[in-house]
């Protein structure tokens, strides 16, 4: 009789809750979706499937890192077998645990400060980092009339911006920004370099490059300080990463899309503008009565938004059941997969062509 064990095919791993203490209030809608208790009113974010950690801690700190429900760091699982998890070859970057994305739930009960993230060129030259922090928001819920503030509505003079930042003149900054009233189902791309803020009342899923690099122009509405607001580079240097040019309506049209989140569809639907594709991708998988075409193979973070069902692979790996509020890290080795049942699953993955695009450049 043979004693050979059958090889276990790769399956999605259920992730434990991973709330983050932050400098702004919120988090109750995360707790309600995830079926957990909020420990403080300053837990407005959950980092989903994160293999990068929060910046404001000792080097090597674990805050931010996702764990499986058994307490194992996802970072360690990916680093031990990058080919199985991300499909990447051994030489794709310096960090074997790199998945190419960071996904968050963000539930703002107060307005986020006006802030900006660097692009790849700035991060490489000043911060020894190959990623910048282009990000995108997918709106899950919004109080009526709540808005995001995206880019300047007219060119601003860099010296005046310095003065207004030093004076913490929130009113001036906000009144010089584009205000976009949001609604459930809206996808918004925020290119690196673009000043932005998010009103209280907005609950969103965020997909971004896997870094924690922020420049706060407006620290006074948070528990942060001026000294914590310039990435340790000083404002004189860091303002080089901040665009002072207007973001015109003609460009905003390419940065905002709307999707009916209640629709059932026969294929995964992209929830973000096409310009997001080189950075990250976010799909809704909500099959109709005839099922749905599969999501491509690759690392993804899957969030069960509503209903119940199973993640079903074409590889023959055992399906994994889910119910609303659960989060999974899906390995590339699970192959192409789809959803059975009544649920709606959001699936976030790295940009098209990742990780080759990291080395080939051409992305801001």
Ligand X SMILES: O=P(O)(O)OC[C@H]1O[C@](O)(CO)[C@@H](O)[C@@H]1O
Instruction: List the one residue from 119, 135, 209, 218 that touches ligand X (CB under 6 A).
Output: 135
Residue 112 near ligand X by CB under 6 A = yes
Helix or strand run (H / E) with residue 186:
strand 186-190
Does 50 sit near ligand X (CB under 6 A)? no
Which residue's CB is nearer to ligand X, number 132 or number 355?
132
Q: Which stretch binds ligand X (CB under 6 A): 163-171, 204-212, 314-322, 353-361?
A: 204-212
Does residue 282 belong to the site contacting ligand X (CB under 6 A)? no
CB of 298 to ligand X, least distance (A): 22
Q: What's the CA angle centered on 108, arms 230 and 35, to 5 degrees?
A: 125
CA quadruple 85, 91, 97, 100: dihedral positive or negative?
negative
Rg (CA), the chain: 20
Report d(CA 53, CA 32) in Å as an integer.
Answer: 24
| Site map (CB under 6 A) of ligand X, residues 158-197, x = contact | --------------------------------------x-
Asked if residue 303 binds ligand X (CB under 6 A), the reply is no
The distance of closest approach from Cβ of residue 217 to ligand X in the complex, given in angstroms and rounded to an integer, is: 11
Identify the CA nearest to 30 among candidates 184, 140, 183, 147.
140
Q: Which lies closer to ligand X via its Cβ, residue 53 or residue 208?
A: 208
Rounded distance, CA 74 to CA 61, Å? 14
DSSP 39-67: SSTB--EEEES--S--SSSSTT--TT--B
Under the binding rule (CB under 6 A), the answer on residue 209 touching ligand X is: no
Considering the complex, state which of residue 200 and residue 294 has its C-beta at the smaller distance from ligand X. Answer: 200
- Contact residue for ligand X among 10, 29, 45, 272 (CB under 6 A): 45
How far apart are the C-alpha atoms of 189 and 134, rounded to whole Å? 8
Which one, 20 or 311, has the nearer CB to ligand X?
Answer: 20
User: What tokens appear for 355 in the block?
Assistant: 């990780």
For residue 46, state whether it binds ligand X (rule: CB under 6 A): no
Query: Which residues on adjacent β-strands are paired with residue 108?
Result: 26
Under rule CB under 6 A, residue 146 binds ligand X: no
Residues in contact with ligand X by CB under 6 A are 45, 104, 112, 115, 135, 196, 198, 206, 208, 212, 214
């Amino acid at each position: 009789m043979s004693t050979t064990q059958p090889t276990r095919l790769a399956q999605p791993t259920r992730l434990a809750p991973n709330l983050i203490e932050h400098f702004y209030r919120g988090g109750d809608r995360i707790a309600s979706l995830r079926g957990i208790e909020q420990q403080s009113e300053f837990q407005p974010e959950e980092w989903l499937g994160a293999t990068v950690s929060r910046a404001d801690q000792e080097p090597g700190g674990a805050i931010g890192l996702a764990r499986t429900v058994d307490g194992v760091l996802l970072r360690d699982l990916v680093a031990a077998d990058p080919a199985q998890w991300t499909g990447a070859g051994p030489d794709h970057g310096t960090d074997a645990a790199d998945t190419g994305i960071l996904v968050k739930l963000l539930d703002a009960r107060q307005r986020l400060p006006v802030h900006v993230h660097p692009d790849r060129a700035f991060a490489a030259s000043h911060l020894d980092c190959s990623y910048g922090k282009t990000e995108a928001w997918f709106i899950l819920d919004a109080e009526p009339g709540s808005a995001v503030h995206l880019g300047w509505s007219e060119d601003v003079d860099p010296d005046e911006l310095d003065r207004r930042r030093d004076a913490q003149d929130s009113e001036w900054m906000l009144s010089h920004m584009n205000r976009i009233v949001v609604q459930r189902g809206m996808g918004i791309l925020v290119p690196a370099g673009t000043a932005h803020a998010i009103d209280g009342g907005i609950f969103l899923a965020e997909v971004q490059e896997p870094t924690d690099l922020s420049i706060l122009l407006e620290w006074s509405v948070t528990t942060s300080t001026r000294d914590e607001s310039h990435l340790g580079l000083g404002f004189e240097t860091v303002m080089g990463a901040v665009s002072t040019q207007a973001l015109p309506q003609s460009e905003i049209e390419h940065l905002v899309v709307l999707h009916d989140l209640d629709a059932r569809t026969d294929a995964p639907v992209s929830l973000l503008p096409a310009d997001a594709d080189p950075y990250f991708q976010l799909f809704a998988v909500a099959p109709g009565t005839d099922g749905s075409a599969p999501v491509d193979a690759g690392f993804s973070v899957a969030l069960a938004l509503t209903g119940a069902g199973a993640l079903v692979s074409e590889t023959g790996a055992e399906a994994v059941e889910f119910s609303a509020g659960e989060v999974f890290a899906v390995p590339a080795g699970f192959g192409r997969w789809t959803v059975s049942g009544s649920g709606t699953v959001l699936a976030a993955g790295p940009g098209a062509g990742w990780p080759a695009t990291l080395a080939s450049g051409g992305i801001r």
